[in-house]
Structure 1
Amino acid sequence: MTIEFQDTERRSSDALAEVIATIKGERVTLRDILAQMGESGLLLLCGLLSLPFLVPVSIPGVSTVFGIGIVLIGIAITLNRLPWLPSRLADKPLDAEKLVPVLEKGLGILRRFDRFFRVRMHALTDGRVVNRVNGMALTGAGVLLMMPLSIIPFSNTLPGVAILLLSAGISQRDGLVVAGGYLMIALTLVYFAVLAWLAVSAGQSVLGG
């Protein structure tokens, strides 16, 4: 069973508040939460996965594992639905009484971050078509993150910043932040092109010498 995103215009904090308000009874499942959170939940996870790369040099191997997760999230957003999840995981009952306080703490943190964002430049955040394009951008940034260049300074940092800006901007409906994410993707491509040119030039010098 897949869950299609029904609302692509809610901020993550608003989506989480709705989840908390609609949790009823003593039990709730991951599928219930994902159905309510939609892409907002995936974007939050995407942002968290990008955090380890906000330093000049990342730990080798981590970029591949986390990059795969980011690529899968980007694909899910592009396709406008969550991927298939095992029923054992998606339908496992969770204790709502213990879960709600944790979610409320998370909501408090998100509300604090809201003051740093503004709903603006709707052309880059609103609508299904735009979100599909943004999902493809996230996917591409995840692929750039997975490039085997982790020993080179900033090779993971640039796409990591792009992923963080895209995920935060999309989830908070801040088009200016999303535009910053696209700019970082462009800078990453330029940086990788320069590295490739230097590598080819060095190879030619060695062969020519």
Structure 2
Amino acid sequence: MKQRINAFAYSMRALLDAAQGKDVSLETLLKGLGKKGQAALLILLSLPFCQPIQIPGFSTPFGIILAFIGTRIAFGNRIWLPKYILDKKISYHHLEKIVSVSIKITDKLRYFVYARFSHLVKNPILQIMHGLTITLLGFVLALPLPIPLSNILAAYPLAIFGLAILEDDGMAILVAYGLSLLCFFVLALLIWLGKEGLASLFQ
């Protein structure tokens, strides 16, 4: 397990070195991260929103990208990422911040996430469920909700899905589903409260 986490950190640093201070496209990130590129991108693009101080203006584009990655996990290479998404560039300055946060957090988690109950990750039918759940979470992250720290609700399960797929950790997958249910419940509650508030205005 440590080898994969270490490989993830090494790949992140290698991407920064290869960028040489220039902006990096999503296509370059996918190629640079190798076979587990989609899982690594789930981690890379969601971890910045797992903390109170977040990078502003990135939740919507990153959420849309994560939603597309979810469809690829669900349906395999039959779903191609649109060129305009592959060409989406992340500035070196922001990429450096994202990589720094990602490496710090994955380093702390390396003793808790490892290969176990791998069939819960690799089963083809369950992979469709994983991908569709990730897609929904991506769209939730992309929503411009005027609620403080609302991105965290979607970001944590997305990051854990990424770690679980990266490490073939079925226990982590179950944790990701638990946090996903919490996210959807809170979102549904907010929508219901919003409707109740609007209804009271017209009574």
> Normalising by structure 2, what TM-score?
0.66
Letter in 2 for 1:136: L
Tell me which of 63, 66, 87 is aligned to 2:62: 66
Letter in 1 for 2:163: A
Tell me which of 178, 186, 191 is aligned to 2:186: 191
The answer to whether 1:171 aligns with 2:162 is: no
Tell me which of 111, 119, 124 is aligned to 2:120: 124
Cα offsets for 1:68-121 (capped at 9, x unmatched): 1111211122221273687xx9xxxxxxxxxxxxxxxxxxx9798543322222
2:120–2:173: 8 Å Cα contact kept in structure 1? yes
Structure 1 equivalent of residue 15 of structure 2: none
Structure 1 equivalent of residue 48 of structure 2: 52
| Percent of residue pairs bearing the same amino acid type | 28
SS in 2 for 1:64: helix
Give the aligned CA root-mean-square deviation in angstroms. Answer: 3.6
More helix as a share of residues: 2
C-alpha distance in structure 2 between counterparts of 1:132 and 1:169, whole Å: 15
The 1:118/1:204 distance shift into structure 2, 3 A limit, reads same
The 1:34/1:52 distance shift into structure 2, 3 A limit, reads closer
Larger Rg: 1
Cα offsets for 1:29-79 (capped at 9, x unmatched): x89x859933x1111011110012113575553211001111121112222
SS in 2 for 1:115: coil
Number of equivalent positions: 165
Structure 2 equivalent of residue 202 of structure 1: 197
Structure 2 equivalent of residue 76 of structure 1: 72
Q: Which runs of 5 or more residues in structure 1 are unaligned?
A: 1-9, 21-29, 90-108
Letter in 2 for 1:206: L
1:80–1:132: 8 Å Cα contact kept in structure 2? no
The 1:144/1:36 distance shift into structure 2, 3 A limit, reads closer
> Normalising by structure 1, what TM-score?
0.64
Q: Which runs of 5 or more residues in structure 2 are unaligned?
A: 12-26, 87-104
1:13–1:111: 8 Å Cα contact kept in structure 2? no
Structure 1 equivalent of residue 152 of structure 2: 157
